[in-house]
Each structure stands twice: as C-alpha cells, then as structure tokens.
Amino acid sequence: MRRNEIYILFILIFAITLLFTYQYVFNIYEVIYSVDPPSLFADDHSTVTISVIPLNAFGLRAPFRYSSASFDIKEGKGFIEIIKEDNKNGEMIVKAKRETGLVAVLIKSEHSFLPSLIEIRIYPNITQK
C-alpha cells in the first residue's frame, strides 16, 4: 500500500512539473523585434536582418518556438532589395541598393495585438581616399 502512494505522488509531481514547464517556459507571452545591424550603407552589399523573437513568461526566448509574421514595406521600397522573407519563422533579410534614405517596415506578428513599425536608415557610403 505504501509503495502505491509513493508512485501516485511521484506521478503528480511529475505532471505538475510538466505543466509548469509548458506554461512558463515554452508558451509565448509576447514578441520583440530584432534589427541587426540597426542601419545600412548605400554600397549594394550592406544587409540587415529583421527577426521576430518570441518571449516566454521569464522574458527569455521561448525554446523551440517561432512566431510567424507578415512584413509590409511602407516606405523606401526602392532603396532596398529583399533577399529573404520567411513569414513562417518571422525573419526578413534586406540588402541596400546604392541610394540613401529611410525604409519603414510594418510587422504584424501572430502573437502581438498591434503591428509595429521598424525604421531603417540607409547612410551614404563614404570611402577615405
């Protein structure tokens, strides 16, 4: 009889631990947007990666989870070239052309209430002679 009680207690503790882990570690509570690097240079080689990062209850990246997102270029579409647009994993890579200006990208994530506007400046490529 005592052995059965220990097994039941072990199963309950294991189930509670699994539920806690799922709810607070793997569940997505909010998203942040990463722009790396924050600006571009008009040299036809400079690239920027825009990523949607899902966060768990502790404010850390939720492991093994991705947040889908849609990217809409609202301003400066002629200044950049889209290299990669992965809506399922929430990632976009753009490359600057040879013109300077401002690029505005509207991002709507699956796990956010409102869309966010990301602005990327394209600076002139000045070389030293």
Kindly tell me the sign of the dihedral angle through the C-alpha atoms of 83, 73, 28, 34: positive
From 1.20.1440.120, 3.40.50.2300, 2.30.40.10, 2.60.40.10, which CATH number describes the 2-123 domain?
2.60.40.10
Q: What is the pTM of this model?
A: 0.83
Closest CA to 83 of 71, 95, 98, 75: 95
pLDDT at 126: 76
pLDDT at 3: 85
pLDDT at 95: 95
Containing H/E element for 23? none
Task: Give the integer Cα–Cα distance in Å for 45 and 37.
Answer: 13
pLDDT at 129: 47
φ, ψ of residue 54 in degrees (nearest 5):
-80, 135
Per-residue model confidence as pLDDT tens for the chain (129 residues): 688 889 999 999 999 999 999 999 999 999 999 999 999 999 888 999 999 999 999 999 999 999 999 999 999 999 999 999 999 999 999 999 999 999 999 999 999 999 999 999 999 987 644
pLDDT at 96: 94
Cα 110 to chain centroid distance, Å, stands at 11
User: pLDDT tens for residues 96-126?
Assistant: 999 999 999 999 999 999 999 999 999 998 7
pLDDT at 1: 66
